[in-house]
Amino acid sequence: MEKNEQVHLDRSIDLFSALALVIGTVIGSGIFFKQASVLSYSHSTTLALLAWFFGGVLTLTSGLTIAEIGSQMPQTGGLYIYMHNLYGKVWGFLSGWMQITVYGPAVIAALGSYLAILLQAFFGFPASYTPFIGVLSVILISGFNFLSNRYGSALQIVTTLCKLVPIAAIIIFGLLFGDQNAVGQVLAERSASVAGNFGVAILATLFAYDGWILIANMGGEIKNPQKILPLAIVLGLSAVLVIYVLVSYSIFKTMPADMIAHYGENATPHFAEMAFGKIGGKILNIGIIISIVGCMNGKVMTIPRIMYAMAKNNELPFSKQLAYLNKKMHTPMVSISVVAIIASAMILTVDADRLTEICIFTIYCFYVMTFFGIFKLRKTTPSSKRPFSTPLYPLTPIVAILGAAFVLVSELFSDLSGVVISLVIVLCGLPIYYYKNRV
């Protein structure tokens, strides 16, 4: 789908960089702040650990399914390309439209807003500065990604390694010095959420695992993508699963379950103070700030590539401009700028977190369709070479589909208004599509 032109994207992302993108875009702030909510939903540390494990397994089955599809379609654009090739131009356009106009910018905006809150608290800036700090962070990280993707990859590697330091400290301290029973603790009735259940706990972990598929957007910039893309997805998600379970186990081994529920989102910072003193809380905050910077960088690197891929296919207004690549840096500067502008506007005007929640339903609809695509590919092109084959086929994609269906059903019951709004947002793309494809 990509045309041969004088200026093209650089294939400079190796396995280590791709792994950093997978791990760095998944591990943001969720693992530091979700412990109490998952525990409250599941009511016991044993079920909470199982929720983190099963959430990781469901995500891994999704990754294994996408890895086979992605290895056969290693172009820039990820989910947009898969939907385009599997189901035609309309479905490809709608999946890309949702990602570039609302979901992607909203994710970046939400991260920018949260980063601003942490920076404001850490440095003591006036609270009124936080929206502008959020916008500034988006601008700075987007501007940095104007440079060659080698620089963005390097930042991703550095921030991923840095965020693993506080994570390693939590795990080591909990395993060596924790004196609680990590398995078998049950919340007291006063702490337990009456509305909680194991399914909702798994759902909470799935959102903490989300973001891994964005590496597929960089297909046109990965060296030997048929081999490295599936390897990065599988190894990256496996690493995240192990990290999430070990962090949860270490916290449960150090703090009583009722104390974790009591402190809520502050449970992990309180753990750091218990383990390493007040300076530990400060160090953990620095680790979380670096973690969010890395997560933002990964999103800013990958999401504009969808806009670029759509513009290359002349599916967007001003496609010529949006498909522009800088002749020296070989990066889609205009697409990066447009996504940054939308994200910045969201920080100043709307609740970006709510927008990401609203879009979850349609994003998972596209996930389910793509997962079904593995059966379509194997039926329509049985003799085609598969650089990567999903293990335990067809069980693995079936589990991935069931996991995504679980999210869809949960969203229908818990946020029907959000589901309707997200469908309307998708349908708003149809006039643009038919305008650009008019005869």
Q: Give residue-wise pLDDT tens across range 360-400.
A: 899 999 999 999 999 999 998 877 788 999 999 999 999 99
3-class secondary structure, 230: helix
pLDDT for 422 beyond 70: yes
Q: Give residue-wise pLDDT tens across range 401-420.
A: 999 999 999 889 888 999 99
DSSP letter (8 states) at residue 317: T
Q: Is the peptide bond before 394 cis (omega within 30 degrees of 0)?
A: yes
- How many residues does this entry show for the chain? 439
Instruction: Specify the pLDDT at position 172.
Output: 93
Q: Give residue-wise pLDDT tens across range 249-303.
A: 999 999 999 999 888 877 888 888 888 888 877 888 888 889 899 999 999 999 9
CATH superfamily of 15-436: Amino acid/polyamine transporter I (1.20.1740.10)
In this structure, of 56-65, 189-198, 275-284, the range with the lowest mean pLDDT score is 189-198
What's the rounded Cα separation, in Å, for the pair 368 and 158? 33
- The more confidently predicted of residues 8 and 47 is 47
What's the rounded Cα separation, in Å, for the pair 237 and 243? 10
| Helix segments in 145-224, DSSP class H | 149-177, 198-209
The arithmetic mean of pLDDT across residues 141-154, rounded, is 93
Q: Report percent pLDDT > 90 for the chain.
A: 63
What are the backbone dihedrals phi and psi of residue 313, each rounded to the nearest 5 degrees, phi first? -90, 10
In contact, 27 and 159? CB cutoff 8 Å: no
What does pLDDT average to over the chain? 89
Instruction: Specify the pLDDT at position 58.
Output: 94
pLDDT for 169 beyond 70: yes
Residue 268, C-beta contacts closer than 8 angstroms, at least 6 positions apart: 32, 33, 35, 170, 251, 284
What's the half-sphere exposure (Cβ side, CA atoms, 13 Å) at 187? 25
Tokens of 23: 């791990």
- The more confidently predicted of residues 29 and 185 is 185
pLDDT for 194 beyond 80: no
Q: What are the structural domain ranges in the chain?
A: 15-436
